């Protein structure tokens, strides 16, 4: 009989085939995972390659998940604006149009009114000043809500709001407007002239006020005048 290649290797004695099949390797006999809510149980017997891995264990088991904060009470919402209902929105992306702001306001009122509130959220006036030459907004707008509580809700959601997905780095700011109430805006803009080509650049009154669910009609304020000879338009600023 030829000597083995490795002189230190142990001698091999063949076993019975039936005896080999009856004895299963230990690393193949393991139980499956049984995961229960809030618990993680590991198997009683794992393969050798998995025994070296560390099992995931939650560090702070006694820390309970944070509960969402309750919505502020109606009395607390009147702390900032008092009885003021009109707000000024600053740092609006310049590519936004009036339809975009209407969509944002309608979605906000719809979310607030889904929760049963004593005072609903709705608005009845919107003006987005535009640059008639570049056909882009000037970065601010005016909105009048039907109550100071609705104005405070809008401020809490959109003040220090970042415009994600629009490539706009400025942060939205909500402040108190100079003119307050739909009546003051109506008196201010009823005789104004806007040298633009479309009524989309004019201030509008919503009738009935939009709460995010009901249909409404838009009534423009002021007059739209066209420039002769292809002249350039002028900017309309509101202090």
Q: Looking at the domain assignment, is residue 130 inside a domain?
A: yes
How does the average pLDDT of the chain come out, rounded? 75
Domain that holds residue 180: 79-224
Q: Looking at the domain assignment, is residue 9 inside a domain?
A: no
Q: Looking at the domain assignment, is residue 72 inside a domain?
A: no
Residue 210's pLDDT band (cuts 50, 70, 90): very high
Q: Looking at the domain assignment, is residue 236 inside a domain?
A: no
**Sequence-ordered list of residues with C-beta below 8 angstroms from that of 20, at least 6 positions apart, any chain:** none
**Sequence-ordered list of residues with C-beta below 8 angstroms from that of 205, at least 6 positions apart, any chain:** 124, 125, 182, 185, 186, 218, 219, 221
Closest CA to 126 of 115, 142, 110: 142
Q: Looking at the domain assignment, is residue 12 inside a domain?
A: no
Q: Looking at the domain assignment, is residue 5 inside a domain?
A: no
87: phi then psi, degrees, rounded to nearest 5: -125, 160
Please give the radius of gyration of the chain, using alpha carbons only, rounded to the nearest integer. Answer: 35
Given a cut of 60, whether residue 168 has pLDDT beyond it is: yes
* Cβ(145)–Cβ(113) below 8 Å: no
**Sequence-ordered strand ranges (E) for 91-234:** 123-127, 130-131, 136-137, 140-145, 161-162, 171-176, 193-194, 204-210, 217-220, 223-224
CATH code at 170? Answer: 3.30.70.330
- The domain tally of the chain equals 1
- CA 239 distance to own-chain centroid: 30
Tell me the per-residue pLDDT of 118-154, one tens digit each, with 9 for 90 and over: 888 999 999 999 988 888 899 999 999 999 999 999 9
Q: What pLDDT is stored for residue 51 in this prediction?
A: 55
Q: Looking at the domain assignment, is residue 212 inside a domain?
A: yes
Q: Looking at the domain assignment, is residue 95 inside a domain?
A: yes
Whole-angstrom distance, CA of residue 31 vs CA of residue 215:
61
Full-model pTM = 0.63
Tell me the per-residue pLDDT of 52-110, one tens digit each, with 9 for 90 and over: 555 554 455 444 455 555 555 555 555 455 788 999 999 998 889 999 999 999 999 99
């Amino acid at each position: 009989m030829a000597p083995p290649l490795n002189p230190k290797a142990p001698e091999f004695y063949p076993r019975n085939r039936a005896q080999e099949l009856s004895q299963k390797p230990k690393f193949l006999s393991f139980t499956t995972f049984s995961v229960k809510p809030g618990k993680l149980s590991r198997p009683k017997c794992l393969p050798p390659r998995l025994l070296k891995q560390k099992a995931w264990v939650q560090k702070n088991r006694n820390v309970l998940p944070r509960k969402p904060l309750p919505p502020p009470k109606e009395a607390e919402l009147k702390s900032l604006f008092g009885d003021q209902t009109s707000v000024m929105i600053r740092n609006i992306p310049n590519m936004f149009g009036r339809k975009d702001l209407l969509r944002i306001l309608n979605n906000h009122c719809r979310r607030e009114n889904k929760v049963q509130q004593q005072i609903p959220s709705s608005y009845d006036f919107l003006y987005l000043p535009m640059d008639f030459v570049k056909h882009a907004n000037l970065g601010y707008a005016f909105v009048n809500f039907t109550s100071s509580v609705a104005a405070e809700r809008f401020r809490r959601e959109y003040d220090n709001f970042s415009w994600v997905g629009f490539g706009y780095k400025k942060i939205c700011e909500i402040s108190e407007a100079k003119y307050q109430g739909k009546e003051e805006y109506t008196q201010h803009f009823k005789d104004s002239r806007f040298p633009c080509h479309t009524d989309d650049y004019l201030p509008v009154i919503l009738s009935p006020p939009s709460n995010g669910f009901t249909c409404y009609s838009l009534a423009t304020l002021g007059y739209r005048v066209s420039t002769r000879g292809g002249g350039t338009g002028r900017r309309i600023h509101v202090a």
